[in-house]
Amino acid sequence: MKIKQYLDSTYLKTAGQAGLSETENAAVAQKFIQEAIDEQFKLIMIRPERVAMAKEMIAAAKSKVTIGTVIDFPEGRSPIEQKLAEAKQAIADGADDLDFVCNYEAFKKGEIGLVKEEILKGTQIGLENHKIVKWIIEVAALNPQQIVQLSTLIKNVVVGNFKEDCYDQVFVKSSTGFYQTADNQPNGATVETIIMMLENASPLPVKAAGGVRTYEEAVQMIQLGVKRIGTSSAKAIANGQVSDSIY
Q: What is the arithmetic mean of pLDDT over 44-56?
A: 98
Catalytic sites, residue numbers: 99, 173, 207
Residue 89's pLDDT is 98
Which spans in the chain are helix H?
Answer: 15-18, 22-39, 51-61, 80-93, 104-108, 112-128, 144-161, 191-201, 215-224, 234-238
Q: Look over the chain and give the mean of its residue pLDDT values, rounded to a whole number.
A: 95
Q: How confident is the model at residue 245 (pLDDT cuts 50, 70, 90)?
A: low
* pTM of the predicted model as reported, rounded to 2 decimal places: 0.96
Contact between residue 68 and residue 43 where contact means Cβ atoms under 8 Å apart: yes
- Reference 127, options 89, 165, 156, 101; nearest CA is 165
Residue 96 amino acid letter: D
Residue 37 amino acid letter: I
Q: What is the arithmetic mean of pLDDT over 55-79?
A: 98
Q: Where are the domains of the chain?
A: 3-238
Residue 130's pLDDT is 98
Residue 241's pLDDT is 80
69 phi/psi in degrees, rounded to 5 = -145, 170
Neighbours of 246 (CB within 10 A): 15
Q: Is the pLDDT of residue 187 over 90?
A: no
Residue 108's pLDDT is 98
Q: Is the pLDDT of residue 66 over 80?
A: yes
Which H helix or E strand runs over 76? none
Q: How confident is the model at residue 240 (pLDDT cuts 50, 70, 90)?
A: confident
Give pLDDT tens digits for 80-132: 999 999 999 999 999 999 999 999 999 999 999 999 999 999 999 999 999 99
Over the range 149-181, which residues count as b (16 or more CB within 10 Å of their CB) and which as e? Answer: bbbbbbbebbeeebeeebbebbbbbbbbbbbee
Residue 95 amino acid letter: A
Q: How far apart are CA 19 and CA 6, in angstroms?
A: 29
Query: Is 3.40.50.300 the CATH classification of the domain at 3-238?
Result: no
Residue 244's pLDDT is 65
